[in-house]
A and B are shown apart, each in its own frame.
Chain A
């Protein structure tokens, strides 16, 4: 692989994203994705969630979580395709889709969090 000075930085984003994803995502998927829909726990009220989201600290944490989790995905998924399917000839396209997708997602996260009234 060609020498690219950006590579260590991508590994840093991958690692930071891995830590945040491991700490925050399981509990959030459990609550909003499984426990609320199945009625195990009654869903959090709208006014309360809005109040939590209005706090700038919450929005900052959610933004950093989205950014780093997306770059974690981009980096790891890129290597999953590289190792798992051995499609090395499509490297350029894969990098574009992965890191480009992460950048688009980060911009979307910033926009959605900015729109919180």
Chain B
């Protein structure tokens, strides 16, 4: 740590009400915020799960069957059910926010936010259909 710059020397100290550690339990909207942020943990879990799958598939059918067996272990299944709920929460909150992040103007008029959110959901449906089609064998 370097010495604080001179211009803050006589700066008044801010009064900040201390925030409790569990502040996010106090309101539904705060809890939803922290749950949404926690969805990232399940995104990371999914990457691990996906890489284990790819690894098993590339090592042959026996390894792939062992992977499927492991995935049907009740604990792994439970983690994936919870993960599905969290990644769905992530997707819905993410797509609902797209109109806030992307402003599109057509002939000087702002495109209604419902259209932008709607096209995100359409893209989600299209990608999901494409992935299902690829995985299940076209």
5 sample A-B contacts, Cβ–Cβ < 8 Å, listed by A number: A31-B135, A33-B46, A45-B137, A49-B64, A113-B54
B54–A48 touching, CB < 8 Å: no
A70–B47 touching, CB < 8 Å: yes
0/1 string, B23-51, CB within 8 A of A gives 1: 01000000000100111110110111111
Count of B residues near A, CB < 8 Å? 52
Residue of B nearest to A113 (CB): B54
State which of B43, B94, B132 has its C-beta within 8 Å of the C-beta of A73. Answer: B43
A19 interfacial by beta-carbon distance below 8 Å:
yes
Neighbouring A residues of B103 by C-beta, 8 Å: none
A76-B40 contact given A22-B94, A27-B127, A33-B80, CB 8 Å threshold: yes
Chain A: interface size category: 35 or more
Residue of A nearest to B39 (CB): A76
Q: How far is the CB of A88 from chain B (nearest CB, A)?
A: 12
Main secondary structure on A side of the interface with B: helix
Residue of B nearest to A41 (CB): B136
Which residues from chain B sit less than 8 Å from chain A, CB to CB? 19, 21, 24, 34, 37-41, 43-44, 46-51, 53-55, 57-58, 60-61, 64-65, 68, 71-72, 76-77, 80-81, 83-84, 87-88, 90-91, 94-95, 101, 123-124, 127-128, 131-132, 134-137
Which residues from chain A sit less than 8 Å from chain B, CB to CB? 15, 17-19, 21-34, 36-38, 41, 43-50, 52-53, 58, 62, 65-66, 69-70, 72-73, 76-77, 79-80, 83-86, 101, 105, 108-109, 112-113, 115-117
Q: How far is the CA of A1 from the CA of B72 in the complex (A)?
A: 45
A66–B47 touching, CB < 8 Å: yes
